[in-house]
Amino acid sequence: MKVGKDYPRLIRTVRQRTGLSQERFAAKIGVTFPSINRWENGKTTPSRLALRQVKQLLETMGEQGRDLLDEFFSDENS
């Protein structure tokens, strides 16, 4: 997890691509609705565990999630 990454855009984009409300997205990755709201508004950043859940979700999305995996998680695969 690097400082300076646009986590609000990551969370919002993944949520929108999955077609989920903040509440349903929170349930899907195992966090609370206020957490999603704070992440999307840039008030806090996701924990490493939450980011791992987002990464796993992106991996299941195939090509629809590839660009975000490359942008936000490529440094983990090197």
Give the domain CATH number at 19. Answer: 1.10.260.40
Q: Establish if 2 belongs to a structural domain.
A: no
Q: Establish if 1 belongs to a structural domain.
A: no
Q: How far is it, in rounded angstroms, from Cα 27 to Cα 64?
A: 21
Q: How far is it, in rounded angstroms, from Cα 56 to Cα 7?
A: 16
Percentage of the chain modeled with pLDDT above 90? 87
In this prediction, residue 4 carries a pLDDT of 64
Tens of pLDDT, residues 28-51: 999 999 999 999 999 999 999 999
Q: Establish if 50 belongs to a structural domain.
A: yes
In this prediction, residue 9 carries a pLDDT of 97
Task: Give the total number of structural domains in the chain.
Answer: 1
Structure tokens at 54: 């987002």
Domain that holds residue 55: 7-76
Does position 1 have pLDDT exceeding 50, yes or no? no
